[in-house]
Amino acid sequence: MNEKPNILLFLMDACQASALEEGGDCKTPNFDALSREGTRFHRAYCPSPTCSPSRASLMTGVLPHNHGVLEVEHGRDPDQCNLRTDLPHWAQRLQAVGYENGYFGKWHIERSQDPSSFGWSTSHVKGAGHHAGLGQGSEPSAAVDDLIPELTRYHEGPAGYRDILHYGVSKTGIEKRYPHFTTSEGLEFLQKRKSDDPWCLCCSFSEPNEALVASEEVFEEYKVEDIALPINLRDTHEGRPGLYERQSQIGAGITDEEWRMARACYYARITELDRAFGLLLDYLDESGQRQNTIVIVTADHGRYVGAHGFDAHNFGPFEEIYRVPLIVSGPGVSEGGSCDAPVCLHDLCPTICEWGGAEEIDVPDSCSLVPAMAGEPIERSGAYAESQGTRFSLTQRIWWQGKWKFAFNGFDFDELYDLEADPGETTNLARMPEYRYTVERMMREVWREIRETGDRAIEETHYFSMRMGVVGPDV
């Protein structure tokens, strides 16, 4: 057997961290078992709450302002929102030291749809085309055609907007739906290998995002009436940017019962992913490769599903869309480990390179988590993320430190939340005089990150109309 570990990355789309935590409503026995065997990171944050920039950061280890993909890539013209090709990807670094790499499922990183250009020797990806249609999302047409009417809801209006499928239950079984297709391709990649070289497999999913369509067989495992609603479902957004109140108006007509249905379908989709993940683990066990394989379960970002009165994930600084699951097991990873320090999704880039003995990707934007996997303390003072919005542009930079969370907003007033006293993030402290010192201190940290990571567009804002910070970039 090779000395380098194999690497399996199971990458979900829009999965809340809380959905995979113990004591919740979501049923994930295989993810739970992995957590017991490895280490769970309770405060892992994505670099952006939008697919393309977050996935591009995962691959390159740098923040969106450095890799160039600021929004969903397919929503812009050809000369906009392009991945900078001079940046190394961790798959390329692994390939250079002998890894055979396979990528299957959702790409959504850049426009070529050609993973072979980025270190993936074998791949089959789906691009943005699966978004076409009247809100059918990522589901094959059979799953949408087989929807059970009384368990389905379309979101309608205002005038001029197409009706979009919000949630539904389909008679089409999970074996005919995308998670099964992607997993099967990943298994085929592993089964057909004839080399003793180490391998890296990424199974990437559109689920549980998109229209919340679940198979009837899995949906029936949930009692809708028992599904807990978010504590901030009816958030009034008082004292916060007006954009949030405007966002909540989009779903204002959704009843509590309908939100419970949406969340039940969302959880059922995650349960389907859990089953798909179990097939991969079964193969690793049966083939004798489990002991030499590092297994990573994570997501590109989260999803609201009713939190703060929102759905989707593109606007707001809240935990539901920024905090993602991160569970890792394998050689060198503490069994039953738990890490409460803030880490970033794109820290996986230098981490994977170190695991594989590949050339280091040394950037100020991210750092290796290999020591943390072994149970050593993390010395980083906080976590940082950025958002440019998507299609509707805005500027937001976020800093987590201890119990505090600060959002620097270039489009409205800033936000400060005490995550211990206010886990639902319903009380903005930023404009209260008694928190002025904390706001200034957190803003200084934001400017430090901006300087260190070369975010020039924000750092060079001394012009009169751009003096948005409570303190400026030269502090």
pLDDT tens digits, 282-302: 999 999 999 999 999 999 999
Residue with tokens 């738990």: 338
Q: How far is CA 232 from CA 130, 260, 320, in A?
A: 32, 14, 11
Per-residue model confidence (pLDDT) at position 140: 61
Contacts of residue 27, defined as CB under 8 A and 6 or more positions apart, other chains included, come to 221, 222, 267, 271, 274
Per-residue model confidence (pLDDT) at position 144: 80
- For residues 223 and 267, the answer to whether their CB atoms sit within 8 Å is no
The Cα–Cα gap between 94 and 114 comes to 17
Per-residue model confidence (pLDDT) at position 145: 80
> What's the token pair of residue 59?
């691959």
Per-residue model confidence (pLDDT) at position 141: 65
Query: What is the DSSP track for 33-80?
Result: HHHHHSEEETTEE-S-SSHHHHHHHHHHSS-HHHHS--S-GGGS-TTS
Per-residue model confidence (pLDDT) at position 143: 75
Please, where are the H alpha helices in 172-318?
A: 178-191, 216-219, 242-250, 256-286
The Cα–Cα gap between 231 and 81 comes to 36
149, burial (CB in 10 Å: exposed 0-12, middle 13-18, buried 19+)? exposed
Tens digit of pLDDT for each residue in 124-155? Answer: 998 655 443 333 445 666 678 899 999 999 99
Question: How confident is the model over 398-414, as a mean pLDDT?
Answer: 97
Tens digit of pLDDT for each residue in 337-395? Answer: 999 999 999 999 999 999 999 999 999 999 999 999 999 998 888 999 999 999 899 99
The Cα–Cα gap between 298 and 352 comes to 14
Pairing of strands 293-299, 6-13: parallel
Per-residue model confidence (pLDDT) at position 127: 62
Report residue 1's pLDDT band, with 50, 70 and 90 as the boundaries. very low
- For residues 246 and 277, the answer to whether their CB atoms sit within 8 Å is no
The residue with greater pLDDT, 455 or 22, is 455
Per-residue model confidence (pLDDT) at position 136: 41
Instruction: Please tell me what DSSP assigns to residue 307.
Output: G
Query: Which of 78-82, 114-118, 157-161 is predicted most confidently?
Result: 114-118
3-state secondary structure of 96: helix
Per-residue model confidence (pLDDT) at position 177: 86
Per-residue model confidence (pLDDT) at position 126: 82
pLDDT above 60: residue 7: yes
pLDDT above 90: residue 407: yes
Instruction: Please tell me what DSSP assigns to residue 25.
Output: S
Cis peptide before 5 (omega within 30 of 0): no
Per-residue model confidence (pLDDT) at position 326: 98
Give the distance from CA 252 to its chain's centroid.
25
Per-residue model confidence (pLDDT) at position 129: 52
3-state secondary structure of 319: helix
- For residues 213 and 175, the answer to whether their CB atoms sit within 8 Å is no
- B/e letters for 244-278, b = 16+ CB within 10 Å, e = fewer, are beebbebbeebeeebbbbbbbbbbbbbbbbbbbbb
- For residues 259 and 303, the answer to whether their CB atoms sit within 8 Å is no
Q: What percent of the chain has pLDDT over 70?
A: 96
pLDDT above 90: residue 172: yes
Tens digit of pLDDT for each residue in 210-250? Answer: 899 999 999 999 999 999 999 999 999 999 999 999 999 99
Backbone angles phi, psi at 241, to 5 degrees: -55, 140
The Cα–Cα gap between 168 and 154 comes to 9
3-state secondary structure of 244: helix
Per-residue model confidence (pLDDT) at position 41: 97
Report residue 2's pLDDT band, with 50, 70 and 90 as the boundaries. low
Residue with tokens 């080399």: 195
> What's the token pair of residue 133?
């249609």
pLDDT above 50: residue 335: yes
Beta bridge partners of 40: 327, 338
Q: How far is CA 99 from CA 7, 135, 367, in A?
A: 10, 39, 22
| CATH number for the domain formed by residue range(s) 6-126+192-209+227-373 | 3.40.720.10
Report residue 105's pLDDT band, with 50, 70 and 90 as the boundaries. very high
Q: Where in the chain is the domain with CATH 3.30.1120.10?
A: 391-466
Per-residue model confidence (pLDDT) at position 139: 60
Residue with tokens 């409205």: 412
- For residues 328 and 308, the answer to whether their CB atoms sit within 8 Å is no
- For residues 8 and 295, the answer to whether their CB atoms sit within 8 Å is yes
Contacts of residue 400, defined as CB under 8 A and 6 or more positions apart, other chains included, come to 43, 45, 342, 382, 383, 384
pTM for this predicted structure: 0.96
Cis peptide before 158 (omega within 30 of 0): yes
- For residues 377 and 393, the answer to whether their CB atoms sit within 8 Å is no
> What's the token pair of residue 87?
């940046």
- Best CATH choice for the domain 391-466 from the list 3.40.50.1370, 3.40.640.10, 3.30.1120.10, 3.30.43.10: 3.30.1120.10
- Residue 130 neighbours by CB distance under 10 Å: 17
Q: What is the mean pLDDT of the chain?
A: 94
The Cα–Cα gap between 46 and 30 comes to 23
Tens digit of pLDDT for each residue in 62-93? Answer: 999 999 999 998 888 989 999 998 999 999 99
Nearest CA-CA partner of 11 in 67, 69, 64, 55: 55
Q: Where in the chain is the domain with CATH 3.40.720.10?
A: 6-126+192-209+227-373
